[in-house]
Amino acid sequence: MDVTADSHQAVCRARRAGLTCYDHSLPRSEGTSGRLSPMRLSPLTVLVLALAVSGCASTAAPGAAQSATTTPRAPQSPPPASAWNWPVYHHHPARSRFAAAPPPAGPLSIAWTRPLDGAVYGQPLVIGGLVIAATEGDSVYGLDRTTGAVRWRAHLGTPVPRSSLPCGDIDPLGITGTPVYSPATGLVYAVAETAGYRHMLTVVSITSGRVRFMRDIPTPDGQPRFDQQRAALALAGGRVYVAFGGLDGDCGQYRGSVVGAPASGSGPLVSYLVPTARGGGIWATGGPVVGPGGTIYVSIGNGAATQAPFDGSDSVTALSADLHRAGIFAPAVWAADNAADLDLGSMSPAVLPSGLILAAGKRGTGYLLDGSRLGGVAGQAAAAQVCQAYGGPSVRGTVAYIPCGDGGTAAVDTAGRRIHVLWRGPPTAAGSPVLGGGAVWVTDWGAGTLYQLDMATGHVRHQIALGSPLPHFASPSLSGRLVLIGTMSGVVAVSGA
């Protein structure tokens, strides 16, 4: 089934709110007009009618409208919750948890490959028997988890060609950030960049592929042509959080920002705009990280200031649910980082169960922070060399698994509030790692290879060529015995997790 937003007849258009509703799957209620004349019924008729009503009492709610000519279709329920689900980037709102359900990892083989209408930069989601994949062709697909067959496709608009952008490295530019699934509603949220440089928050039913609504998310800096939505979406407290950074090449007068939109589709937006004159992108693929108590942590890239006063860039920033700044950390060398493009914005914060946060970026220094009090400039609990970090980390216990662009995954122990690198993975495996089945899973996105590493040593247990190049910072999703990876042409599923 191909569900195209442009072909739907709009049920409602709330233009001032930027909201368009498309859903036709819900039955319309029907009222009645006129009055019934009184009737006299025989005792036998009354008894028959009473028995009939008693037998049908469970089929309609009290007061529900009835129609003699139509029978409303029973709404489909979302698939039941499963331990094998992968509903959000890196499995959990904290981004850094491990998947405990998969069985022990073993030898690898290709289970299926599904070409789609564009590259899949975000992680595939898994809900029940469905794999959700979003493409740079501005489509969201529902794929059969077992076979990869297309169950439905929702096409959301026309992506932006590279030729119309002042810089960048994705062509065309459609859906880049990983979507997020709400188990409470059975809906998937994705942001599509469409013609005219509009960033459309789109909500799709996973049972039918129908678009429930689309809402334009204006970028707070007022520069949508220069703003890219690469970071994974987050869902917390009834809001969907959308982060923006710049295009590859850092062209234009963009400024990093986060926008919170009501998951219901209606109501005011909230936002945070990095207080720098230019830059400060929030682009790391892991996106906003939801920590204890609903605090939202973001890593912010280099900004305009190269001398005091500090401008909020090159930082880990804590935000409240309504996106007021609640805390900040920046390295003592923030001004030099800004001048040399060596900032913390390239990796999402690693939130540890202890409440500590491990941050690392392009300079290669790891900073251990107290999540409840980030400490301001030079306020770290510890610092040590780790690696040049790009992407999203994973965490188990006191160990953070860091995606490194200069030598492979780094397993970093933070016990005793110290930073100690335990091991490094294969030098070219620079993707964002995930954990499950007693293994670390990481990609070499340049070669199109998936590695299964020993969690204790980093040694390669198994590896497999995926038959396709991968997007930068590619990160797999785990579901039972399957590993699912977005490629430059679709999705590939590997058996053996």
pLDDT at 449 over 80: yes
Residue 136 exposed, middle or buried by CB count within 10 Å (0-12, 13-18, 19+): buried
- CB-based burial, 50-81: b 16+ in 10 Å, e otherwise: eeeeeeeeeeeeeeeeeeeeeeeeeeeebbee
Binned at pLDDT 50, 70 and 90, residue 105 comes out as: confident
pLDDT at 22 over 90: no
**Global pTM value:** 0.85
- CB-based burial, 217-256: b 16+ in 10 Å, e otherwise: bebbbebbebbbbbbbbbbbeebbbbbbbbbeebebebbb
Counting every residue, how long is the chain? 497
Q: What does the DSSP assignment read for 374-430?
A: --EET--SEEEE---B-B--EEETTEEEE-BTTTS-EEEE-GGG--EEEEE--TT--
Average pLDDT value for residue range 483-487: 97
Query: What's the confidence (pLDDT) of residue 95?
Result: 77
Binned at pLDDT 50, 70 and 90, residue 102 comes out as: low
pLDDT at 315 over 90: yes
Query: What's the confidence (pLDDT) of residue 96?
Result: 64
377-435 confidence digits (pLDDT tens): 999 999 999 999 999 999 999 999 999 999 999 999 999 999 999 999 999 999 999 99
Q: What does the DSSP assignment read for 103-134?
A: PPP---EEEEEEE-SS---SPPEEETTEEEEE
pLDDT at 40 over 70: no
Which residues on adjacent β-strands are paired with residue 367? 359, 383
> What is the rounded distance in angstroms from the CA atom of residue 329 to the CA atom of residue 381?
11
pLDDT at 1 over 70: no
